Structure 1
């Protein structure tokens, strides 16, 4: 093996997965696979130090502070923990501590919550700042979002000038299921597991979304001016202040106690309402921490025992491609039934062809299956043995499995698409999407009924739903239909005509235009006609839309058949006006005004964005001649100069606030 080359490969793989895990909240590897890469790299760097990269990812604590939030340097570094994967690792941990100190010591054992680490800073009894771990030295300021978490006290009785507590923000299993169910209904990408859902939620720019998702936080560490003898004493104090401290945490007198507690956690982990991926063991005596010491990355007085992922092996019987409403191809695994976490799994997603090829997954091979977050069945990879190499290598489909059209890949993407607008697979999925709860919400139009109507040639396009009343007698004769069911169905179709227009826009299935973006667009343009007439420049200026959304809308409108479809929907009386108007403040001086924000303001940028939205203003990302106001803080740059050149009115913070009626002024 070329050691230097292997070290370089491992560094690259770990860096890529660090970004996907910490920044994108979209991991490609499961924890056990990632840990194996890290373990291999650490071993090679130790054995061959001459090949060690000075920028090795082994030197990093974790992720990075994203640019979309203000960066804050931690007063005390937020270190990671060394990992133990077996009993021998724990024995070595205990032995090393015994060699360093002759003092009597015991341990404190806590469940390792699978969430996002957070630092909460209080001053004079008030929560003033919340910062993510980031790279361990610098994190992201997520204070506005932390204020949305009910379990985190905003005021405490300890009036110290500085008090810092650390904990883990997490999402319960039930709330995770609810969020993924909602994303499924909205045809959005599902979260892989509760940890990624919690991380993605906490790093949302929209604090309203954070409030809805019901995050919680367990607290596990104290920094302050009180002198406690043990870590467990400090947690008792934090609990008395109103912080959530995990009741399953407990003391352990020796290594055998630790083994018993790990065994107990392993047995009950699936019954807990939250995800744990291991157990944290800490020396309980605080006065020994400096003596036992630290490495540059981890404390030597603590370790995390990681549970192995629940993985089962079964046979991959087939790989079946399916077509979605946009024409995207999804590959699915057909499996010999296997039970994981109490559920029988017969199929699993394989995502796209590149996923299958990169993991060399082959039909009729033995494959490893796991449930991501105990929810989504996923194929990890094939078992490579002598029989494996006799199996044919997977080859991606070149033609649509429904209409035989050639499949295409768009620039910058890995997914394949069928671009035949008359593909039956796409048409059926488009029809299902249009009537779904997230779109037009036409109750009673199930997948089975849509297929019956399609087979009888009663529907081909979405506007055909609104002509079904002409075929009432024929529909009644269909299998398992009847007068009452058909009456209810036709009534639901008629009622849907009056839906607010963002539901219709989402129902049209324009690529990259999801439910939230549909709402944003129509809150700005008021109706679909105005949106479709908007120029690319007007669309791309809207901060929430971006070039991809603007290109999708203009591309969709450039297709004659799409515009004809839209006109036929209007002819049938569907509402195209945004009628879901939010209650406005009495002062509407900035209503419909296009506003750009620049510079440093007295409060987080999110505060002013929310204020603009509440007063029906429009947030833009760049200055143009059509910009109405530039809200300007300190250290403004090119945007201020451009605003002056274009005679755009510049508002300082106080001038801006005088235009709007602030809500919750005393908060």
Structure 2
């Protein structure tokens, strides 16, 4: 959750500022997930990660068009490491949403009450328990016997660590009186005392020490040799469950007591609280005890106590609606700014990065910080107003690093009393440091971008990395490192070149197999993996192309809407005149708001308005195609313009066409046909009296329907409650089936 100041901050950003920051955050979150969940070598602390995710989510909430790019909103953990067998979780292991302030907790309570239709006077109890800073583990028991143990992995598939889990004293091998199927979930951790003793033993032997107890616990559980795990002092707290053959209890608290009765360790600080005031009071109590607990915690978890209400509340894509983690505050530290580097991203954005004298902030060594953009370095915000008291940032400055609230780590302040003599204001480059093309900053945009496009190696490499990323083509053996290598050697300049690797270099296999890390088998495996990915789902292809704002969610929405690459491409091409008209009209509206300080400015306004008028009369087919494109739920004009620009850019379109010619593109599965609304587009409007809007949407989607926020010719059913207005009128004009709430419930009653 974002606090009010952060909400105001992100809401004040221009669309371009928000998008640029959003993409930077996304890359950092992806790297952090792999480092934390797969490599057991986190590069940033949990608090830092939470702050990044918090800012990321706040940007999406303040700028809805960014949800089309928000791949990290749906991410949980990281893929299982290759050294272990894989186990599919019968029920996904989800993460928790975060609260950072008391008001966030109050918002959590209000959102639950709104979803359930509860009033402020209705009873709603919560459990509150410490959030252990360890490694999530799921234990599956059948007929009382422990048969397997799995890490979280990416939430769906985890690592098989059964042999290792068997060595942990807190994990019983046999249960009496348990359901026939019981998946117990909890956290593996290491106490402070055991951690210090382990590091002392490693130091005596000249071995590697661990940075913190969480790393030690994760590394110990994920040993390929279970005997090494046995020698490590691991502990386990149970706090939840997955698949069950029968319910443990009717409430969260009673279910935890049931687990304790079965022989599991549960946290003694877990309390039942009857109000927001009580859970915050318990949070303060736990926070005061934090230093003396003997193990690491990073917050307090609140869960709705009534399990029936948990069932009604259900889940978002990666988090339950009925639980939240109230995190402890992060910390501050001062250090020296040694340099400011400029990185060029996939979209050409020039992003300044502070290189710091390494400093420990909350137990994590920080050596880099994001500086956002050139205005931020100068001490100004997006509106030109002062931040940090107007103090600019210069190389050599003594700077304060802040690890919560904004992009983290960030430079929160500058100590001018320690500024070295001769320190010069930082000159932000106006040319790309990678290709020397002009770096252009458009009016109203805080981000300066390289204009080199396809000729810029930084953009080309980053787009290729994105193309082969896990959520895109995910080609086994062709990751970021290999892409950089092949691009440097001139083997891959654009995505289509990947599918020509074998034909171009297969006959000269010696060139590849003689490279470090490559052999004949690995080269053959790579070529086979590439061949396998010649057949690709349409949604993944759209995402893989790396067009601005076209994230995974947008890829799925577009694929479901058009269902065919050619149909989508033709529609975007047809809509181009209308897209230009839309942009010109927006520019004219923006220009109209400018203060005409001189004749030249007035002339510019006049010219822009004339340009808008000139293109606003577009062919009917273009207008219809544009309306259909931006009418896709979750797409909108920002993404529509991005798609139009990408498809009309001659170089980019030629590269796309070369790629398409080498692929077999698979349409998305047809919607389920076992309900009366499967595959239909439904719009809800007016007041629903027997269910909340969120429940109605969730139910419709569960039955295979697509829920849209606007009425169009694609709409199949309008569900109209009291107070329905323009949507009902438009539905009537289009001849769309309209039902009241009772009619809707009757329609889906048998599904």
TM-score normalised by the chain length of structure 2 = 0.52
Contact 1:319–1:333 (CA<8 Å) still a contact in 2? yes
Q: What do the CA deviations read for 1:116-166 (whole angstroms, capped 9, x no partner)?
A: 6578xxxxxxxxxxx7279xxxx545654999xxxxxxxxxxxxx943557
User: Aligned in 2, Cα 1:618/1:175: closer, same or farther, shift over 3 Å?
Assistant: farther
Instruction: Answer whether contact 1:504 1:576 (CA < 8 A) is retained.
Output: no
- 2:418 & 2:401 partners in 1: Cα distance? 20
Indicate whether 1:385 and 2:417 are aligned: yes
Q: 1:596 maps to which residue?
A: 683
The answer on 1:313 being equivalent to 2:400 is no
The partner residue of 1:577 within 644, 651, 667 is 667
1:532/1:554 contact within 8 Å kept: no
Distance 2:403 2:522 in 1: 38
Alpha-carbon offset, residue 180 of structure 1: 14
Residue aligning to 2:428: 396
Aligned residues: 452
* Rounded Cα–Cα distance in structure 1 between residues aligned with 2:491 and 2:468: 15
Q: Equivalent residues in 2 for 1:617-636 (5 A)? A: 617-636=705-724
Report if the CA contact (8 A) 2:537-2:668 is conserved: yes
CA distance in 1, matches of 2:422, 2:491: 49
Query: Which of the numbers 627, 630, 647 marks the counterpart of 1:540?
Result: 630
Alpha-carbon distance between aligned partners in 1 of 2:359 and 2:62, rounded to the nearest angstrom? 43
Cα pair 2:432 2:450 within 8 Å, conserved = yes
Q: Give deviations 1:324-373, integer Å, cap 9, x for gaps.
A: 11112221111122222333322222222222222511111111123348
- Residue 19 of structure 1 pairs with residue 8 of structure 2: yes
Give runs of aligned pairs for residues 318-337 of structure 1, distance below 5 A.
318-337=339-358
Match of 1:420 in 2: 452
Deviation at 1:591, TM superposition (A): 4.2
- 1:350 and 1:450, CA in 2 relative to 1: closer, same or farther beyond 3 A? same
1:114/1:275 contact within 8 Å kept: no
Q: Alignment partner for residue 455 of structure 1, among 488, 506, 521?
A: 488
Matches within 5 A, 1:77-116: 114=100
Give 2:403's aligned residue: 371
| Matching of residues 238-387 of structure 1 within 5 Å | 238=272, 265=290, 271-274=296-299, 310-358=331-379, 359=388, 360-372=392-404, 376-385=408-417, 387=419
CA contact (8 A) 1:542 1:619 kept: no
Query: Secondary structure of 2:658's match?
Result: helix
CA gap of 1:443–1:115, structure 2 versus 1, over 3 A, is farther
Who is 2:512 aligned against?
475
Assess, with a 3 A threshold, how the Cα gap between structure 1 residues 537 and 415 changes in structure 2: closer, same or farther. same
Write 1 or 2 for the structure with the bigger share of helix: 2
Q: Distance in 1 between matches of 2:416 and 2:340?
A: 18
Residue 486 of structure 1 deviates from its aligned partner by 1.0
Residue pair 1:585, 1:614 contacting (<8 A) in 2 also: no
* Distance verdict in 2 for CA 1:626–1:485, change over 3 Å: closer
Structure 1: stretches of 5+ with no match in the other structure: 1-13, 29-62, 69-111, 120-130, 148-160, 183-210, 220-234, 252-260, 277-305
Which whole-Å deviations, capped at 9, do the CAs of 1:587-625 have from their partners, x for residues lacking one? 2x4444343321111312223323333344343333344
Partner-residue secondary structure (3-state), 1:382: strand
Tell me which residue corresponds to 1:35: none
Q: Report the CA distance between 1:454 and its aligned residue.
A: 1.4
Alignment pair present for 1:496 and 2:533: yes
Cα distance change, pair 392–557 in 1 and its aligned pair in 2 (3 A): same
Residue 614 of structure 1 pairs with residue 574 of structure 2: no
Alignment partner, residue 163 of structure 1 = 123
**Displacement, 1:248?**
7.5
1:175 and 1:549 map into 2 onto residues whose CA distance is 38
User: Does the aligned pair in 1 maintain the 2:685–2:721 contact within 8 Å?
Assistant: yes
| In 1, Cα distance between equivalents of 2:114 and 2:436 | 53
Deviation at 1:463, TM superposition (A): 0.9
**Structure 2 contact 719–744 (Cα < 8 Å) conserved:** yes
Distance in 1 (alpha carbons) for counterparts of 2:377 and 2:483: 32
Task: Name 2:549's counterpart in structure 1.
Answer: 512
After the TM superposition, which residues 530-569 of structure 1 pair with which residues of structure 2 at under 5 Å, given as runs? 530-534=567-571, 535-569=625-659
1 CA distance for matches of 2:115 and 2:515? Answer: 55
Question: Is residue 631–residue 650 contact of structure 1 (8 Å, CA) maintained in 2?
Answer: yes
> How many angstroms apart in 2 are the aligned matches of 1:435 and 1:540?
28
3-state secondary structure, aligned to 1:351 = coil
- SS of 1:337's equivalent? strand
Distance 1:418 1:18, change over 3 A: closer
Deviations 1:524-582 (A, max 9, x none): 22233333333221122123222212222222222233332232222212424224x66
Deviations 1:201-230 (A, max 9, x none): xxxxxxxxxx99xxxx999xxxxxxxxxxx
Secondary structure of residue in 1 paired with 2:536:
coil
Identify if the C-alpha distance between structure 1 residues 660 and 413 changes in structure 2 by more than 3 Å, giving closer, same or farther: farther
CA distance in structure 1 between the partners assigned to 2:408 and 2:463 by the alignment: 24
SS in structure 1 at match of 2:413: strand
CA–CA separation in structure 2 for the residues paired with 1:426 and 1:165: 51
Partners in 1 of 2:102 and 2:11 — Cα distance? Answer: 9
Partner of residue 72, structure 1 = none
Specify which structure has the bigger relative contact order, considering alpha-carbon pairs within 8 angstroms and separated by 6 or more residues.
2
Aligned to 1:286: none
SS at match of 1:330: strand
Q: What is the aligned-residue RMSD (CA, Å)?
A: 4.7
Q: Distance in 1 between matches of 2:337 and 2:299?
A: 31
* TM-score, normalised by the number of residues in structure 1: 0.58
Partner of 2:722: helix, strand, or coil? coil
Distance 1:117 1:555 in 2: 42
What secondary structure is seen at the aligned counterpart in 1 of 2:651?
A: helix
Q: Which residue of 1 aligns with 2:465?
A: 432
CA displacement at 1:466 relative to structure 2: 0.6
Match of 2:498 in 1: 465
